[in-house]
Amino acid sequence: MSDFEKDFEVARSIGYFYEKKYNDTQKSLNEINMVGINNIEVVGEKVKITTTRPGILIGAKGSNIEALQKHLEENCQIKSIRIIEDKRSINIRRHLTLFSEKFMSDDFDYCDFD
């Protein structure tokens, strides 16, 4: 799996995490927009998430980041998350598209969004 594919797999899994968390597409999209993730970079079993709003990603008393870390460990074999604050306006929200379970299958072509 290439670096891009692994980064995209983790981005997709984060979108799926928020979809499961709220079980409501609009609430999930609102949360993803509020978090403001600018970049996701996977190196081995570690992921670096660059965000404009790290406090929202972390959540009250770390509850959100703990749940996200557990989700990424189960689904992407990610052992640790490093959060970087970056106030730039670039956003990869389009990569964090919400996927229902039917789209999580191996035969789904997630690169064909036309």
- SS3 assignment, position 35: helix
**Which comes out higher in pLDDT, residue 95 or 6?**
6
3 φ/ψ angles, rounded to the nearest 5 degrees? -60, -45
> Please, which pLDDT band fits residue 38 given cuts at 50, 70 and 90?
confident
Supply the pLDDT for residue 29.
85
pLDDT of residue 41: 93
The 80-85 sheet, strands edge to edge: 37-43, 46-51, 80-85
- Extract the tokens encoding 10: 């983790």
Backbone angles phi, psi at 37, to 5 degrees: -70, 125
CA terminus-to-terminus distance, the chain: 24
Class assignment of domain 3-88?
alpha beta
The token duo for 30 is 């609102």
Domain residue extents for the chain:
3-88
69 and 81 Cβ atoms separated by less than 8 Å: yes
Which percentage of the chain shows pLDDT scores above 90? 43
